[in-house]
Amino acid sequence: MRSTNDDRTARAVIRDEALRLFAEHGPDTVTVRRVAAAAGVSPGLVIHHFGTKDGLREEVDRHVVETFDGMLGELAADSSGGGSLAAALLRHLPPDSPIPDYLRGLLLGDGEAGRALFRRLYEMGRARLDAMPEGDRGPDPAVRAAFLTVNDLAMILLRDRITDVLGLDPLSAEGLVRWTSEAMLVYTRGLRS
């Protein structure tokens, strides 16, 4: 049931509840009725706003990608190259945000939104490498950009497994500090440091 202090529109509440449920259970298993119940509205209102469940899913995808794009814009504007995807997530999202879990499904799925998002991340990494002196780009900048993109996404894609083995969430403040410091040692000194 919605709080009286909730000033979001019914459309935003439906979208946000769908996002939460899709992140927790996968979009294919969540029904319009379940989203409606979670949002405290009728199934008819969900259909009124989004047309179909697929329309609702497209809106959730669009919302997540736009939110993520805002974070990516911040990273792209960081000319130092020191900004991390995980740090941006931590700065912009509350700890209980369903967006990282939803992103995992989006990136691992077959949908166009996930493909476009991965390509954007790759292209940002490639642009950073291309801005470096030629000798620092590595022998195969395309592969290096893909490798670095996958590395950045590991904390999102494997968050549960990392949490399980380390005993802390890599997207928490403490987890990010530990992960980043070790990653920077490997990047700057190699595995023998």
pLDDT of amino acid 2: 45
Residues 65, 4: Cα–Cα separation, whole Å: 29
CA distances for 184 relative to 39, 104, 141, angstroms: 42, 24, 19
What stretches in the chain show pLDDT beneath 50? 1-2, 4
Residues 20-43 pLDDT 10s: 999 999 999 999 999 999 999 999
Return the exposure string of 119-153: e unless at least 16 CB atoms fall within 10 Å of the residue's CB, then b.
Answer: ebbbebbbebbeeeeeeebeeebeeebbebbeebb
Residues 153-168 pLDDT 10s: 888 899 999 999 999 9
pLDDT of amino acid 79: 54
Q: What is the pTM of this model?
A: 0.78
pLDDT of amino acid 1: 47
Q: Supply 68's token pair.
A: 């993520």
Q: Supply 128's token pair.
A: 């950073």
Q: Are 61 and 106 in contact (CB under 8 A)?
A: yes
- CB 164: neighbour CB atoms within 10 A? 9
**Positive or negative torsion for Cα 104, 132, 130, 92:** positive
Q: Supply 105's token pair.
A: 């499904």
Q: Are 122 and 145 in contact (CB under 8 A)?
A: yes
pLDDT of amino acid 136: 82
Residues 186, 76: Cα–Cα separation, whole Å: 23
